[in-house]
Amino acid sequence: MTKSIYPAYPPDLSDEQAQFLLTNLKDWSIAHGLAVRPAPSFVSQSQDPTGVLATSAPVTLFPSPFPRHCYEEGLAIQKAYNELYSAIARDEEWLKTVVEELAGVDDFVAKLWQIHLEVKREGYVQDLTLGLFRSDYMVHVDPKEADAKPEIKQVEFNTIASSFGGLSSKVSEMHKYLLSIDAYPPQATPIIKQDSLPQSKSVPSLAAGLAASHRAYGSSRSSHPLCVLFVVQGPERNVFDQRHLEYSLLAENGVRSFRVPFHKILSDTKLDSERNLIYSPPHAVGQSYEVTTIYYRAGYTPDDYAGEEEWTARLHLERSRAIKCPSILTHLAGCKKVQQVLATPHSPHLARFVPDEATAKRLLKTFAPIYPLDKSEAGLEARRLATDVGSASRYVLKPQREGGGNNIYRASIPPFLEKLAETNWPAYILMEMIEPPALNNVIIRNGEVQKGGVIGELGVYGVCLWRSGGQILENWEAGYLLRTKGDQSEEGGVAAGFGAVDSCCLI
Ligand code: ADP
Ligand code: MG
Ligand code: MG
């Protein structure tokens, strides 16, 4: 195991203690929907022909130690990050300069931009946009300073389909429960205490964001009742994560929602003459709804666009009068290239969107060094770093993609670039690896217990509702997520099979 900065954490357990903890974890997680549909490799079609089975989501046995001031700073700056990204999404001219650099080398980005232009030509009929964002961080300790304090550095900012808000609330609840029934042994309780385990409010808070958008839409113009539409992938293993938001939207806000797979959009929805989006559920013949808010949990990856039909579906949705979560411009604002441009040293970009100097300074402190791979001076230096095996080991190479599994890490970068035509290099950005302090934990995945060195990633959710003219109607921080992966894995995605859902034990 890695030499952790908390060597006694997590404590060793006797067989009986481990058994007690695991039994409680397994039962609590299923009883409360801290669950996923099983992977086909785990349960075959013949074992579960009707798709009725669910299994506990990958989780950590113990909450992971996380510096309190880092957690507090991440939550405190979320509203500023919401404002920043909503301002970027409103600044078409600025975004155009970024997108133009990518359009020639990234087909997906180019197609999204084309959709924006097509709707713009016709005229947008909705000036409200909803963002359910998640800003992701790792803890960084400056190796050059002897007494350096840990600080958070941003991994990325998600503007579309930010996931795990549903399961995150549940896992922090579960860790609190395990503590309350004394499932953690006494030697752990000086560290794990009820007041060091913050409850993530992501479920009610993200659902309240959807409800705020639903209300801001106004009354029905089509005489059909109103609803929110979750546009989803099918099949979706992480369905319960989304279901928690749906249930909270109904139970706490009285808002009806439906789930529609992306490939069913064109058959199940229509635009009326005013471009109201009308959804006719196939199960309820003769009943239709007017959609107030389109919540995309699909459409963020090229894999969701099998052919022209899906692109037609995206255009169809964007043309509608429904509020988009997110709009195309907001989706594009989440490109890693945007993050890189913002992080350019001494650039005027951040000040353009965040005029308040103190706020801009606080955001800037969370940026890690990121470089373009173009022909600029910084780009040429980055090319040198990325093609040398010695220096490349400190970096990660990222394309403009979401959902995990797309990056190239460290020593794999030079051979990857060697095979890639140089004209395509600007489609990527080069980012310095953040190296968090060593920690240990236990991950439970498919019932298997994996103990060892881990790396945590804090995600902070944000809700923002704004008008294209600039008025911000709603802006709040919406809870947190901690994802933890084995320190041998570079990727952190839980759904992609690399990580586990965790909660913070503040220290
Ligand atoms: P995606 O949008 O696909 O989630 P990310 O930028 O979040 O892309 O990268 C995926 C994973 O790669 C992260 O969850 C994290 O584990 C790892 N990663 C990305 N950037 C860095 C970095 N600068 N330092 C350390 N790990 C990183
Ligand atoms: Mg990520
Ligand atoms: Mg992402």
ipTM summary value: 1.00
**Ligand 1 atom 20, closest CA:** 155
In this prediction, residue 147 carries a pLDDT of: 87
- Print burial letters for 129-143: b (CB count within 10 Å at least 16), e (below 16): bbbbbbbbbbbbeee
- Write out the two tokens for 78: 């979320």
Residue reference for tokens 């084309």: 114
3-state helix, strand, coil in the chain (%, to 5): 40, 25, 35
Residue-level pLDDT at 471: 98
pLDDT for position 385: 97
Ligand 1 pocket test, candidate residues 140, 155, 428, 460, most atoms within 8 A of CB: 155
For the CA of 483, the nearest atom of ligand 1: 14
Q: Which pLDDT does position 495 carry in this prediction?
A: 64
Would you say the CB of residue 297 lies under 6 angstroms from ligand 1?
no
Q: How far is the CA of 135 from the centre of ligand 2 (A)?
A: 9
Within 8 A by CB and 6+ apart from 65, the residues are 6, 9, 191, 439, 505, 507
Residue among 295, 174, 291 nearest 243 (CA) = 295
- The pLDDT, as a whole number, for residue 187 is 87
**Binding site membership of 487 for ligand 1 (Cβ less than 6 Å):** no
Pocket probe mutation, ligand 1, options 136, 337, 394, 396, max atoms within 8 Å of Cβ? 396
Regarding the beta carbon of 433 and ligand 1, being less than 6 Å apart is answered yes
Closest ligand to the CA of 156: 1
3-state secondary structure 146-186: CCCCCEEEEEEEECCCCCCHHHHHHHHHHHHHHHHCCCCCH
pLDDT of the residue at 496? 63
Residue with tokens 């600007």: 426
Question: Does the beta carbon of 489 lie inside 6 Å of ligand 1?
Answer: no
Chain centroid to CA 145:
32
Helices (H), 320-400: 328-333, 336-342, 349-353, 357-364, 377-387, 389-392
Q: What atom in ligand 1 is closest to the CA of residue 405?
A: 3
495 Cβ inside 6 Å of ligand 1: no
CA-to-CA separations, 489 to 401, 416, 498, in angstroms, rounded: 19, 18, 7
Cβ 179 under 6 angstroms from ligand 1: no
- 50/35 Cα distance (integer angstroms): 17
**Tens place of pLDDT per residue across the chain (507 aa):** 557 888 889 999 999 999 999 999 999 999 999 999 998 888 998 999 999 999 999 999 999 999 999 999 999 999 999 999 999 999 999 999 999 999 999 999 999 999 999 999 999 999 999 999 999 999 999 888 888 899 999 999 999 999 999 999 999 999 999 999 999 999 888 899 999 999 999 999 999 999 999 999 999 999 999 999 999 998 999 999 999 999 999 999 999 999 999 999 999 999 999 999 999 999 999 999 999 999 999 999 999 999 999 999 999 999 999 999 999 999 999 999 999 999 999 999 999 999 999 999 999 999 999 999 999 999 999 999 999 999 999 999 999 999 999 999 999 999 999 999 999 999 999 999 999 998 999 999 998 999 999 999 999 999 999 999 999 999 999 999 999 999 888 776 666 666 899 999 999
Backbone phi, psi, residue 152, to 5°? -90, 140
